[in-house]
Structure 1
Amino acid sequence: MSFEQLTDEERKMIKDIEPHLPDHIRSLPKEKQREVLIGHIMKVREQSNSEALYFKSLEAYKAKDTNLYDLKNWVFDKRFIEILANAKADQGRKRSPEDSKGALNGVEEVSPGVFRFPMLDVKFAGRLIDEVDYFQKWSEENGVHVHRPNSMNNYGAILDHFGFRPVLQNLMKWAIDPLTTRFFPHVGRLDGDHHGFMVSYQKGKDTKLDFHRDDSEVTLNLCMGRKFKGGDLYFGGVRCLKHQQVPPTKEEEVTVGHEAGYALLHLGAHRHAAKHIEDGHRENLILWCRSETYRKRSTVGPHVPTRVENTLQT
């Protein structure tokens, strides 16, 4: 396909990307650069068509427990409500950057930049697990291939795809934003979107998750439960994309255990891995929280389409 055969939007996409090409593509002749970019555009187009069919099929899904899809019906740990109230009370106060990262009653900083706290009622977490199980069973019975959370997880489900997008966006604004302002003031407000999903670990399926960083400014990792042993979360230091493969120092390495109802909050750039689960079955709700304002300050620019930019990084 030639450049002229692309849609106006696709041609604009290529023109927006060209000034920010990686060196290994920029070094190619102009015609070859366009050829590479058109190939990526075709992948995006194919993905978009496939996604449209997928979301069309999901319109037939009827929730098992409709109360779960409204944040006002969620049952939080009373200690978390107090933590959140204290964090919000601090928002109006003038604090130094160091003071902003200080202790908050009920929150444990298990390692620099990794915060642990009780968040969700365990019985309510079980209802969320049941809903995800119901969705996956419905998908299997109706021939719908469930999209997995990312390329690293072969099990689990993207909660945003079957009705949870509004409630998780509200959760980010109501709960994670004030905690981010308190613990990660350099990020600022979470004024972007999110990616919310459930991951599952058990023997014979996904048992671990390799070392990586998230596509988020801040990540919430909430243990939902089931019975399990092992599968601790390992952290290995904060790195930018350019230096994400730099090995961690001994001081940066820490391992944190999971407990149902408890959450971990950390920067998306804080590299981590899930160790092998030894026994049982563990489910975690993951919420990648984003700040458009922070990204405009930190990346090549807001007009580079995310999906195409990501394919060019590989």
Structure 2
Amino acid sequence: MLLHGEGFLHWPMLVGKLQGAQVARSSLEEGVPVPRLQKTPHAGHRPESYEDMEDLEYPATLYSVMEQHLPSHCLGASREKKLAMLERILAKYRPNGERAKKHREYRERIRHNYQPLHEDLYTLDPERFFVGSFLDAIKDGSEAAIRHILIEHSPGVFTFNMLKPAFCSMMLEEVEHFERWAQDAKVKVMRPNTMNNYGAVLDDIGMEEMLNLLMTSYLNPMAAVLFLNVGGTSLDTHHGFVVQYAMDRDLDLGFHVDDSEVTLNVCLGKQFEGGDLFFRGVRCDKHVNGEARPEEVLEYSHVPGHAILHAGRHRHGAKAITSGQRTNLILWCRSSEFRELKKYQRDFSSWCGECLLRKKERSRRLSSAKRQLAS
């Protein structure tokens, strides 16, 4: 699901703003106030699908996620009435209406005018796209089967063979085809984020449903095993894009963390040298600029078709490419539930490396003091 860049609405942040705040009264029907979103989603509630509705200001998945946080008495309303409630809530907390309007117009122009080169990419065909080892592990579903295909290069950084060469080639060709169309149509391509100047958001060109299926059916089983403590069991939205590095484009990517709970990074190719990824451990906001311990330091060379899976809060970057061109498929997977819980959580020792180290040190000192008193 697309929620990216400056000026775009971030769903968990929206809920945080609404907690404890009275939403201004606006009429859905005369005299009826806009409801207040609940902090936690309604367990067992199956939200409406808004995929078939036209002229939505935001991606359809956002409305489905938000619906689960409506008060109980609103859940039985018609889909149209629930949509009206959600639209009014969004309008109240829109950070930049003009930017959102431009993005909506941008997506509409693509939807009505862009003709995909490889329509097969827009639906997920696992037998054609995934290598056998990955597909077998997901079909098995057990922790043992999933871990069998993984290499853990340093704590929390996993790699595995994932995509067949045919998929990689098709995706590269599709992105190049889109770039040529945009140039001919004089459409300025909206880039994936504020750090990358080249690449495209795949959700914008019609791959949102395909990428959502990739997350829910193929990445969620892995994330539930590997990233239980950072929302891996409740991934519900995504931001999918490709980034490009070449001598005449972006050369590298600075040290950062992702706006995700779990990140998938798959190398599509082409021929290149350099551009290694480097990792420096998972940190909370308080310790994000802290030093890395030796066991957290990792440099990894991309392999086409192979994927890297890591926590979004795992600090990383990319070294400069020295020749050729490297294009990567990135999927930021997010959990609304985890982000809500995180706002109220004081102890991050279950997932922040620095918090964990300090907690262990406190426990060691306490144990030492107790032994001294006992003697």
| Range class of TM-score, shorter chain | 0.7 to 0.9
Which residue of 2 is the match for residue 32 of structure 1? none
Task: Flag the 1:298–1:14 CA change in 2: closer, same or farther, 3 A.
Answer: closer
Which residue of 1 is the match for residue 174 of structure 2? 131
> What amino acid maps onto 1:117 in structure 2?
F
Two-structure CA RMSD over aligned residues (Å): 2.4
Aligned pairs, number: 259
Q: How does 1:229-248 map to 2 (within 5 A)?
A: 229-248=273-292
Matched, 1:154 2:197: yes
Name the SS for the 1:221 alignment partner: strand
> What amino acid maps onto 2:108 in structure 1?
K
Specify which of 140, 143, 148 is matched with residue 105 of structure 1.
148
- Per-residue deviation at 1:242? 3.0
Q: Deviations over 1:84-123 (max 9, x none)?
A: 234x134xxxxxxxxx8x9821210011100000000012
> What amino acid maps onto 1:157 in structure 2?
A
Which residue of 1 is the match for residue 296 of structure 2? 252
Which residue of 1 is the match for residue 108 of structure 2? 56
Aligned partners of 2:225, 2:275: CA distance in 1, in Å?
Answer: 29
Aligned partners of 2:283, 2:261: CA distance in 1, in Å?
Answer: 12
Is the CA contact 1:190–1:289 (under 8 Å) kept in the aligned structure 2? no
Which residue of 2 is the match for residue 119 of structure 1? 162
Aligned partners of 1:251, 1:128: CA distance in 2, in Å?
Answer: 35
Matched, 1:287 2:327: no
Aligned partners of 1:208, 1:84: CA distance in 2, in Å?
Answer: 33
Name the SS for the 2:216 alignment partner: helix
> What amino acid maps onto 2:338 in structure 1?
Y
Which residue of 1 is the match for residue 99 of structure 2? 47
- Per-residue deviation at 1:295? 1.4
Aligned partners of 1:149, 1:191: CA distance in 2, in Å?
Answer: 20
Which residue of 1 is the match for residue 30 of structure 2? none
Which residue of 1 is the match for residue 139 of structure 2? 85
Name the SS for the 1:297 alignment partner: helix
- Per-residue deviation at 1:250? 2.9
Which residue of 2 is the match for residue 141 of structure 1? 184
Using the size of structure 2 for normalisation, the TM-score is 0.65
Higher RCO structure, 1 or 2 (CA under 8 Å, sep 6+): 1
Q: Deviations over 1:237-282 (max 9, x none)?
A: 1011232222323331110110000000000000100111111101
> What amino acid maps onto 1:81 in structure 2?
L
Name the SS for the 1:144 alignment partner: coil
Q: Deviations over 1:199-245 (max 9, x none)?
A: 00011210100000001110000001110111110001101123222
Aligned partners of 1:48, 1:179: CA distance in 2, in Å?
Answer: 33
Specify which of 75, 86, 97 is matched with residue 129 of structure 2.
75
> What amino acid maps onto 2:142 in structure 1?
A
- Per-residue deviation at 1:78? 1.1
- Per-residue deviation at 1:54? 1.3
Q: Deviations over 1:51-72 (max 9, x none)?
A: 1221222121111111110002
Structure 1 residues not aligned, in runs of 5+: 1-11, 20-39, 91-99, 302-314
Name the SS for the 1:223 alignment partner: strand
Larger Rg: 2
Aligned partners of 2:220, 2:179: CA distance in 1, in Å?
Answer: 30
Which residue of 1 is the match for residue 244 of structure 2? 200
Aligned partners of 1:14, 1:126: CA distance in 2, in Å?
Answer: 41
Aligned partners of 1:300, 1:56: CA distance in 2, in Å?
Answer: 38
Is the CA contact 2:232–2:262 (under 8 Å) kept in the aligned structure 1? no
Aligned partners of 1:210, 1:51: CA distance in 2, in Å?
Answer: 26
Is the CA contact 1:122–1:225 (under 8 Å) kept in the aligned structure 2? no
> What amino acid maps onto 1:267 in structure 2?
A
Using the size of structure 1 for normalisation, the TM-score is 0.77
Aligned partners of 2:95, 2:237: CA distance in 1, in Å?
Answer: 23
Which residue of 2 is the match for residue 304 of structure 1? none
> What amino acid maps onto 1:214 in structure 2?
D
Name the SS for the 1:104 alignment partner: helix
Aligned partners of 2:256, 2:17: CA distance in 1, in Å?
Answer: 31
Task: Flag the 1:14–1:190 CA change in 2: closer, same or farther, 3 A.
Answer: closer
- Per-residue deviation at 1:188? 3.9
Is the CA contact 1:159–1:196 (under 8 Å) kept in the aligned structure 2? yes
Q: Identity across aligned pairs (percent)?
A: 39
> What amino acid maps onto 1:50 in structure 2?
K
Shift >3 Å, 4+ stretches: 12-19, 40-43
